Amino acid sequence: MFPSLVLSSPVVCIPCTYVYSTASTHRVRAPRRRVFPRLGVHNAAQQHTYSKENDDVLANSILSNGKVTKIAHQLLRSCVRADDVVVDLTCGRGTDTLLFLELVKADGLIVSLDIQQEALDITRRRIREEFCEHISDEAERKKIEERVYFARTCHSVFESVVDGIAEKKGKKKSETNEIEIGAFTMNLGYLTGKDTDKSIVTRTRTTLEALDKASKLLRVGGLITICCYRGHEGGSEETDAVLDFVSRFPPEITVTKIDVLNRSGPVLLSCYRQR
Ligand SMILES: C[S@@+](CC[C@H](N)C(=O)[O-])C[C@H]1O[C@@H](n2cnc3c(N)ncnc32)[C@H](O)[C@@H]1O
């Protein structure tokens, strides 16, 4: 199903938008949505490394709510740098893309992919409504919107999309002539929402293809977070296949599984490249 979709649907790269520039003279208030309000708004020059505050919020997420999607965000906050190239492999309703917008600044690059146009449209709308609502200046809003590059395509071909955009933006390549990526997010399953098509789900083969490539392009100190759901048809098999696959990642990548045992939520896999 997916290969034909990929071939028949051209990659649509829509330069969307971004957030506020800290250098701006326009009056800009903090975006409304804040998953971890205590962390506040990051400065453009700030590097996201461990801090006592990060640790506290992470501990709180594990101890009190056990929501693995929140834990994933907290781990991403510890790893993503302001000038990183980051990729949301399953854009969906945009929650992860919005986090990237907060963490990655103008000299970084955010790429957000989904096989469904609807997901990209929802996310663009959320950026406009949630991130840009306080910005009165239209040019400034547009600048923010242009921080995310959307592509309607299968994530198994993400590297060609990222390469094309990164080249245009002049992003530096590694010694092996590849773009190094600071973070990937992958939230498996279907697009949630009242009127969405729940038959369009991530599939094991393309999921593993994307993860294989992602593990090879991750920079040192970079992170892949994967949320796996078992509830839908095929979800259990996909989750087992992903668990098996990431368990065999090379030792430079530390793979951790976070599974809240007495609830039926998703399993979080954290793949951190330490060297
Ligand atoms: C659970 S949702 C993602 C949630 C999202 N991360 C968020 O923050 O709202 C899964 C998404 O994966 C998308 N998807 C399914 N197969 C895909 C594929 N092969 N390539 C890219 N996206 C895919 C679906 O269309 C759906 O929007």
Structure confidence by residue, pLDDT tens digits, 140-199: 888 888 899 999 999 999 999 999 999 888 888 888 888 999 999 999 999 999 999 999
CA distance 35 to 225: 17
Q: How far apart are CA 250 and CA 255, in angstroms?
A: 9
Instruction: Tell the residue nearest (CA) to atom 4 of ligand 1.
Output: 92
pLDDT value for 124:
96
Going by C-beta distance under 8 Å and a sequence separation of 6 or more, which residues neighbour residue 244?
A: none
Is 90 inside a domain boundary?
A: yes
**Ligand 1, residues 126, 148, 202, 228: which to mutate, most atoms within 8 A of Cβ?**
202
Q: Is 181 within a domain?
A: yes
Q: Which domain holds residue 263?
A: 48-273
CA of 78 to the centre of ligand 1 (A): 24
Q: What does the pLDDT read at residue 64?
A: 78
The dihedrals phi and psi of 151, each to the nearest 5 degrees, come to -140, 130
DSSP for residue 156: G
What radius of gyration, in Å, describes the C-alpha atoms of the chain? 18
Taking the CA of residue 229 as reference, the ligand 1 atom at the shortest distance is 1
155 CA: nearest ligand 1 atom: 20
- Expressed in angstroms and rounded, the spacing between residue 90 Cα and the centre of ligand 1 is 4
For ligand 1, is residue 206 a contact (CB within 6 Å)? yes
Q: Is any ligand 1 atom within 6 A of the Cβ of residue 270?
A: no
- pLDDT given for residue 54 in this prediction: 74
Atom of ligand 1 nearest to the CA of 116: 25
Task: State how many domains the chain has.
Answer: 1
pLDDT digits (tens, 9 = 90+) for 194-223: 999 999 999 999 999 999 999 999 999 999
d(CA 41, CA 34): 9
Give the pLDDT of residue 37: 32
Q: State residue 42's pLDDT score.
A: 37
For residue 95, the tally of other CB atoms under 10 A from its CB is: 18
95: Cβ below 6 Å to ligand 1?
Answer: yes
What's the CA gap between 4 and 20, in Å, rounded? 39
Q: What is the pLDDT of residue 213?
A: 98
- Give the atom of ligand 1 at the shortest distance from the alpha carbon of 206: 19
The answer to whether residue 3 sits within a structural domain is: no
- For 83-130, the pLDDT digits (tens) are 999 999 999 999 999 999 999 999 999 999 999 999 999 999 999 999
Measured by CA distance, the residue closest to atom 19 of ligand 1 is 154
Are residues 39 and 57 in contact, defined by beta-carbon separation less than 8 angstroms? yes
The answer to whether residue 101 is domain-embedded is yes
For residue 49, what pLDDT is reported? 58
- pTM, 2 dp: 0.84
Q: Is residue 34 part of a domain?
A: no
Name residue 188's beta-bridge partners: none
Does ligand 1 come within 6 angstroms of the Cβ of 235? no
**Residue 176 included in any domain:** yes
Q: What is the pLDDT of residues 51-69, one digit of tens each?
A: 777 777 788 888 877 799 9
DSSP reduced 3-state for 72: helix
113 lines ligand 1 (CB under 6 A): yes
Is the pLDDT confidence value at 33 over 90?
no
DSSP 188-243: -SB--STT--TT-B--HHHHHHHHHHHHHHEEEEEEEEEEE--SSTTHHHHHHHHH
Is there a domain that residue 17 lies in?
no
Q: Which atom from ligand 1 is nearest to the alpha carbon of 69?
A: 8
Find out whether the beta carbon of 115 lies less than 6 Å from any atom of ligand 1.
yes
Q: Is the pLDDT of residue 24 over 50?
A: no
Q: Whose CA is nearest to atom 9 of ligand 1?
A: 93
In a domain, 32, yes or no: no
Give the CATH number, domain containing residue 136. Answer: 3.40.50.150
**Burial track 195-225 (b if 16+ CB lie within 10 A, e otherwise):** ebeeebbbbbebbbbbbebbbebbbebbbbb
